[in-house]
Homo-oligomer: A and B are copies of this chain.
Amino acid sequence: MNRRQRLILAGRHLFAAKGYSAAGVREIAAEAGVSIGLIRTHFGSKAGLREEIDRQVIAQIEDLCSRASEHLGTEALDLLVEDAVEWVERERDALLYVRAALMEKTPGSQALLRQLLEIMRRFVALNRERGLLQDDVDEEWAATFLVIDFLGPAVLEPFSEEEFGMSMYHREMVKRRSAFMNRVVTQGFMKS
């Protein structure tokens, strides 16, 4: 892997772990195994590095989004969910970067959130078209709900080990959680 990409991955990791302000350029360069000057050479500045990271992460999510749109059959929904779960497992750093990026309002983080909303709006619309949506559902809030639900575990992840005894993305955790969420979206958990 070339040094430019090494810098991007190191930056993504450190921004995700400590936040943009707390992660220094020297630390990033050290983790990437290159010298500080390269950040300026390739990205102009620390902010430029963040913008490039934003671009790559947004591209990943866009990819996730467009792949689901390609399959316009009955299996589109399952594919979308499957893709998303697989992506979270494979690119945990990217997800944790999204978490960190949303902590401060930048053009990049706004775009990230918009992408997520777009995916979820599409998901809700697909469900409606397939007749899987209940009547009179506030679709905009349904999409927002799904975004919150997608980001929630990432937000809690750093505390998960101490609070629940395991990672939010541990297999058992994912299983319990998806069982609960399946129940919630189809029938809720409280009597009316």
Across the interface, A19 reaches (CB within 8 A) one of B19, B137, B192, namely B19
Contact between chains at A186 and B176 (CB < 8 Å) = no
Contact between chains at A117 and B163 (CB < 8 Å) = yes
Chain A residues within 8 Å of B, Cβ to Cβ? 18-22, 99-100, 102-105, 109-110, 113-114, 117, 127, 131-134, 137-138, 140-142, 144-145, 147-149, 151-153, 155-156, 158-159, 162-164, 176-177, 179-181, 183-192
In whole angstroms, what is the CA distance A103 to B131 when docked?
39
In whole angstroms, what is the CA distance A163 to B189 when docked?
30
In whole angstroms, what is the CA distance A18 to B159 when docked?
21
In whole angstroms, what is the CA distance A11 to B149 when docked?
30
How many copies of this chain? 2
Contact between chains at A163 and B19 (CB < 8 Å) = no
Across the interface, A155 reaches (CB within 8 A) one of B133, B134, B148, namely B148
Contact between chains at A191 and B156 (CB < 8 Å) = no
**Smallest CB–CB gap between A104 and chain B, Å?**
6
CB-CB under 8 A for A104 and B190, given A145-B184, A148-B156: no
CB-CB under 8 A for A188 and B188, given A102-B155, A103-B19, A148-B148: yes
CB-CB under 8 A for A110 and B187, given A104-B18, A141-B177: no
